Amino acid sequence: MKLFRNREIGSYMSAFLLTTAAVCICFLLTGGNAVFYLMAEGLILLGIFLICLRRRYEDMEKLTQKVDRILHGEDQLELGEYKEGDLEILKDEIYKMTVRLREQNEQLEREKSYLANALADISHQIRTPLTSLNLMVERLRRPDMEEGQKRKIYREMTGMLQRMEWLILALLKISKLDAGAVTLEKQKIMVRPFLREVLSVLEIPMELREQQVILNGNEDASFYGDESWTMEAVENVLKNCMEHTPYGGTIRISWEENPLYTEISVTDSGKGIDEKDLPHIFERFYKGRMSEQQNFGIGLALSRSILSNEKAVITAKNAKEGGAKFQMRFYENR
């Protein structure tokens, strides 16, 4: 019962019983006026009550000071002194509230830091293409420029703007994922139809490069993940393989499912990954020795960030038959 967990009530009852017992014993042993003993008992109980009341107000004053210190930035609220009682229960609830508020504040600070880093990354990465765009605009202002040269510059500017747009969106997505601001909705995904849909996005550039894609895996294989986000992660991996596969080359995609996980492997027929690049291949803005000049070094970092949030794992290595090999493992955690 809440009444008996309060230590002040217990102290009052114990004091009353002990005082009453002592007064009764004294009255029986010595006799005398009963009114005198009742008055003595009342005074003793009043004194005990005042002492307990003073102690309670002192505890309330200490609690008020602690709350004030917490509001002004103190990080700790000790629990070691707490005992049963209404005031102590209040202290415990205040402690839990401050812990929760502190966690929320830390989360907000992390999100603020991630956003600041993302903005810094974006400003750093788009500085060079913006400078190039400004130079192109100045060239277009020349009155003696031929129409063919103008069309060429327009195409270059369009491609540059598209790459900048992709970079900014990718960085913002990574920041949201890192800050935990994205809610992933997992569902059962059939592997083959999923891969065909991803490949449809890259169909035209692969056709222009005369590249062939070979799919090999069980028709019934599936995994659990957020379809749209996982599609973006796999698309970035395939795009990386496409860019490092020579004209007329082959990209092999295989998959297998077992009771623990579903693994999707993507192998290209390029030159593979330099051994010095392997430990850094998924780092943000890292450009390998064989990367194209216009590569920002952000696609694989985004893929890893997405898959990590899905509790999946992505690794990279060189295949025995040559070329780079990426393995994405989706564990059976629904």
Show me where the domains of the chain are located: 7-102, 119-178, 187-331
Residue-wise pLDDT tens digits, 289-314? 666 555 567 788 889 989 998 999 99
Q: Which pair of structure tokens corresponds to residue 106? A: 């830390």
Distances in Å between the Cα of 296 and the Cα atoms of 127, 170, 289 are 12, 11, 13
Does this model's pTM top 0.85?
A: no
77 with 94: CB under 8 angstroms? yes
> Residue 190 has what pLDDT?
95
d(CA 90, CA 93): 5
Residue-wise pLDDT tens digits, 83-123? 545 566 666 667 777 777 777 777 777 767 766 666 666 66
21 with 13: CB under 8 angstroms? no
Residue 33: what residue type?
N
CATH of 119-178, one of 1.10.287, 3.40.50, 1.10.3470, 3.30.70: 1.10.287
State how beta strands 250-257 and 212-217 pair.
parallel
* Class of the CATH-defined domain 187-331: alpha beta
CA angle in degrees (0–180, nearest 5) for 254-260-265: 20
Q: What helix, strand, coil percent values describe the chain, rounded to 5? A: 60, 15, 30
Return the minimum-mean-pLDDT range out of 52-61, 196-205, 276-285, 310-319: 52-61
222 with 259: CB under 8 angstroms? no
Does the pLDDT at position 251 exceed 90?
A: yes
Band the pLDDT of 2: cuts 50, 70, 90: very low
d(CA 89, CA 63): 12
